[in-house]
Amino acid sequence: MPERNVFTWNAIINTYVKDNNFVQARALFDAAPFKDWVTYNTMLSGYVNSEGFQDEAVRLFSEMQFVDEVSEYALTTMLGLVTKLSLLSYGRQLHSYMLKTGNSLNRYSLSSLIAMYSKCGCFKDAWRVFDGSDDGFVDTVSKNTMVAACFREGELEMARNVFLSRRQLNDEVSWNTMISGFAQNGYEEEAIRLFRIMMEEGFVWNEHSFSSFISACSGVKNLKLGKEIHGWILKKGMSLNPFISSSFVNLYCKCGLLNYAHSICKTTQKANPFAVTPLIVGYSETGNMLEARRLFDSLPDKNHVVWTAMISGYVKAHQCEEAFQLFRELMTQKTTVPDELIFINLLGACAIHATFNYGKQIHACILRTGTAMDAKLSNSLVDTYSKGGNVTYARRIFQLAVDRDTILYNSMIAGYALHGYENEAIQLFSQMTEQGFQPDEVTFLALLSVCRHRGLVKLGEEYFFSMTQDYKISPGFDHYASMIDLYGRANQLDKAVSLMETLPMEPDAVILGAFLNACKMNRNAELAKAAEDKLLQIEGGNGSRYAQLAGIYASEGKWNEMGRVMKMMRGREAKKTAGCSWVYIGDTVHTFISGDRSHMENDAIYITLGCLIKELSKLSATIFLEEEFCIFY
């Protein structure tokens, strides 16, 4: 190129920027004999829009201010950067700079500011920018940005009002924003309705419309509608679009058609984490952890969502050790930083294992990574520490929690209940209602648990009454089972019987189980026999129920009845799930089931156990008998 000018220099720099060749772009930028603000803005936007050059962007922006007047282009570019990095205070500084230099009043600034405030979590400021601007500056883009901001905030009616005002500005993006907004906020039917109207009003569906629509179908598991649109998309030849195909994978996974989902996933040229992640979740839910792991391992680039899906899959399948192991692998990788959801899943694993040490380690990890503590995370910590046996830590977390919700109160009340801190639980419930938190069915379950273990029949009845009368919560199976258990433990079998007679529904296995237990505690084998048929009808396949029945007859000395039930158990090949105990020593878990002889230190353990049983038998003959009965099983 014999003749060069500022335009040609800018063009060649831009070409290298677009090719992500920042070494060459920067060399040309430094060497350029002519520079105008386009040169700077080209370089700046290149830095902003690529990973890893954001420090350079800030440095260049600072330099630019001394070279020439900063243009509106540079300001909107920088707003995009602070939005991506969620740097609200920088965003505010840019906003005031724009106001001072008269750069805040153009279409680009308007939409960038709305997006920045919305994505940085300041919906009110986003609205102020939009609402306070002159009508002349509001264009389609800033209107659409505002609609999206409303959905992000969960303000659905506000979104609709903005959408309906100045309707002539609406375009395809406006419609797609509405469809995805409703779909994401749990109004799938509305999203599906709008999808249809969009076409009727003459707008053309594109990949955005399809993705959101398929996502809405997945949300309500509407397989029929999903298949209809699938056929349509196959005909249109759009099925290989990565957004669309991964949405279909998700749809079929949610509807339980894993084979179908898997075959679609295979049609994609390169592994798409957006298609693989739902499959990992799907296989995990069916307990096929090997296939889930195989898919996970097949992904070359794993982001934090994939890691979370795999870890949560292990936790759901109760393979907690694998979850911890995978987390250790994650931490050795420097690329992915664990987020709140990963921690919540891991804490769930700790709660399942009832392990205090792991819980403490995860907690420390949360603090080290500077993860923000919200109600959900506090809740997981309270639950983990309670179940791990340390209610003091649980309480500390609860007291330090700034934003609380009903669920957090529920966990703390349940934690107190678990550890026999009945007064604290009761007191916390009063505090909860005084602070204006609405108790739910779980709250009352925890409260009834308190009453059951303390034998507080009167208070339990009060809660049960208050739940229906004051809070309009209709009791579920678990609430009735709790009440029956409460009466049973308090030796008021007559009340349990009359509650059984007035149940508004057919009792389930849990209620019948509680009733049988009440019969056992009150040594009433006749009533138990009456409930036996019903229970075995519902849960004939559950071996532990036969064992429970046998136990009742045995405790009454009715050995014939016991033998009869045991025979039924064998005849139906019903297996009793073995209950187990475990203890962490160092990094190793030692698990025991009843009559277990497999442990390496078997002899020492049984000698100690024998000594303990001897000591116990001195204390009480009853305990000894029941202990022997357990070993017999």
CB 579 within 8 A of CB 591: no
User: Residue 207's CB: how many other CB atoms inside 10 A?
Assistant: 15
Which window, 8-16, 352-360, 475-483, 506-514, contacts DNA (CB under 7 A)? 8-16
Tokens of 458: 């009167």
Tokens of 2: 């014999």
- Residue 209 as a binder of DNA (CB under 7 A): the answer is yes
- Residue 455 as a binder of DNA (CB under 7 A): the answer is no
| Alpha-carbon distances, residue 341 vs 201, 250, 304, 372, 376 (angstroms) | 41, 20, 10, 11, 9
* The binder of DNA chosen from 104, 133, 222, 277 (CB under 7 A): 277
- Residue 378 as a binder of DNA (CB under 7 A): the answer is no
- Residue 222 as a binder of DNA (CB under 7 A): the answer is no
- Residue 319 as a binder of DNA (CB under 7 A): the answer is no
- Show the binding pattern over residues 565-594: x = contacts DNA (CB under 7 A), - = does not: ------------------------------
CA distance 294 to 285: 15
Handedness of CA 76, 82, 88, 90 (dihedral sign): negative
CB 307 within 8 A of CB 278: no
Max CA separation in the chain (angstroms): 109
Binders of DNA among residues 102 to 131 (CB under 7 A) are 106-108, 110-112, 115
- Residue 247 as a binder of DNA (CB under 7 A): the answer is yes
Q: What is the DSSP string of 319-331?
A: -HHHHHHHHHHHH
CB 129 within 8 A of CB 113: yes
Nearest distance from C-beta of residue 527 to DNA, angstroms: 45
CA distance 314 to 289: 7
Kindly state the helix (H) or strand (E) to which residue 32 belongs, with its residue range: none
Around 472, how many Cα atoms within 13 Å sit in the side-chain half-sphere?
1
- Residue 183 as a binder of DNA (CB under 7 A): the answer is yes
- Residue 42 as a binder of DNA (CB under 7 A): the answer is yes
- Residue 187 as a binder of DNA (CB under 7 A): the answer is no
* The binder of DNA chosen from 53, 98, 130, 180 (CB under 7 A): 180
Handedness of CA 459, 461, 464, 466 (dihedral sign): negative
- Residue 155 as a binder of DNA (CB under 7 A): the answer is no
Nearer to DNA, 207 or 596 (CB): 207
Nearest distance from C-beta of residue 360 to DNA, angstroms: 22
CA distance 135 to 158: 18
- Show the binding pattern over residues 286-305: x = contacts DNA (CB under 7 A), - = does not: -----------------xxx
* The binder of DNA chosen from 104, 144, 482, 522 (CB under 7 A): 144
* The binder of DNA chosen from 22, 29, 32, 41 (CB under 7 A): 41
CA distance 226 to 579: 44
* The binder of DNA chosen from 80, 186, 389, 476 (CB under 7 A): 80
Q: Compute how many residues bind DNA; rule: CB under 7 A.
A: 70
**First vs last C-alpha separation in the chain:** 92
* The binder of DNA chosen from 306, 391, 417, 514 (CB under 7 A): 306
- Show the binding pattern over residues 336-365: x = contacts DNA (CB under 7 A), - = does not: ---x-xx-----------------------
The residues that bridge with 584 in the sheet, in sequence order, are: 589
CB 114 within 8 A of CB 131: no
CA distance 564 to 550: 8
Nearest distance from C-beta of residue 326 to DNA, angstroms: 13
Q: What residues line the site for DNA (CB under 7 A)? A: 6-7, 10-11, 14, 37-39, 41-42, 45, 49, 71-73, 76-77, 80, 106-108, 110-112, 115, 139-142, 144-145, 148, 171-174, 176-177, 180, 183-184, 206-209, 211-212, 215, 218, 242-243, 246-247, 250, 272-274, 277-278, 281, 303-306, 308-309, 312, 339, 341-342
